[in-house]
Amino acid sequence: MMQKDKSRKPVLIKENIVLDCKAVTPEEAIIHAGELLLRSGYIKSGYISGMLSRDENFSVYLGNMLAIAHGEKGVRDQILGTGMSVLICPDGIDWHGNLVKIVMGLAAIGDEHMELLMHCANIFSDRERVERLVRCRDRERVYRMFGGI
């Protein structure tokens, strides 16, 4: 993975994992995921509006109960570092007609998002693994499932 440089903040920090999230709408989930990135210093506040706009124009739902909220190209200047947040919503969210139980917030510098997306594709390609992730109530275990990126 990309986190070879020990001077950089990890892409995913445990504080950015929310278990049993009660988000009701896609907009609320995106704002929550973005606020975690903001508080952790990965983004400036303007990035969140770009995340909302991205989902309005092109749904960020990817299948297998996953949505990856990320900003449009026009808000790249709002990214301070590559980071992600994870919201686990066991009750599910109606995401424009699709069921979402895991919402990831993603901000990436340059092409680092490609490596993250490939890593996440490996995790979310297995429906059983996704179900275990949704049922998990241990933040440390969820962090390990993402490989401590």
125 falls within a domain: yes
Q: What is the average pLDDT across 95-118?
A: 90
What the block records as the tokens of 13 is: 């920090």
Write down the pLDDT at residue 75: 96
4 falls within a domain: no
75 falls within a domain: yes
Distances (CA, A) of 49 to 16, 73, 82, 139: 19, 12, 18, 28
User: Is pLDDT of 7 > 90?
Assistant: no
7 falls within a domain: no
CA dist 40 and 25 (Å) reads 23
Q: With bands split at pLDDT 50, 70 and 90, how would you rate the model's confidence at 123?
A: confident
Please report the sign of the dihedral spanned by the C-alpha atoms of residue 91, residue 129, residue 14, residue 43: negative
Q: What is the DSSP letter of 42?
A: S
Q: What total of structural domains would you count in the chain? A: 1
Which domain does 24 fall in, by range?
12-145
Of the candidate ranges 1-5, 94-98, 121-125, the one whose mean pLDDT is the lowest: 1-5
Write down the pLDDT at residue 6: 56
53 falls within a domain: yes
1 falls within a domain: no
pTM of the shown model? 0.91
Residues 107 and 47: beta-carbon distance below 8 Å: yes
For the annotated catalytic residues, the residue numbers are: 70
Average pLDDT along the chain? 90
Integer-rounded Cα radius of gyration of the chain: 14
133 falls within a domain: yes
Percentage of the chain modeled with pLDDT above 70: 93
- Residue count of the chain, please give it: 149
2 falls within a domain: no
Q: What is the DSSP letter of 10?
A: P
What the block records as the tokens of 87 is: 């919201």
Q: Which residues contact 76 (CB under 8 A, 6 or more apart)?
A: none
What the block records as the tokens of 74 is: 């026009």
The pLDDT tens digits of the residues spanning 51-93 come to 999 999 998 998 899 999 999 999 999 999 999 999 999 999 9
Write down the pLDDT at residue 44: 98
CA dist 33 and 44 (Å) reads 13
Q: With bands split at pLDDT 50, 70 and 90, how would you rate the model's confidence at 1?
A: very low
Q: Please report, for the domain that includes residue 111, its CATH number.
A: 3.40.930.10
Q: What is the average pLDDT across 98-121?
A: 88
Of the candidates 26, 13, 9, the one whose C-alpha atom is nearest the C-alpha of residue 85 is: 13
Residue 13: CB atoms within 10 Å: 16
Write down the pLDDT at residue 41: 97
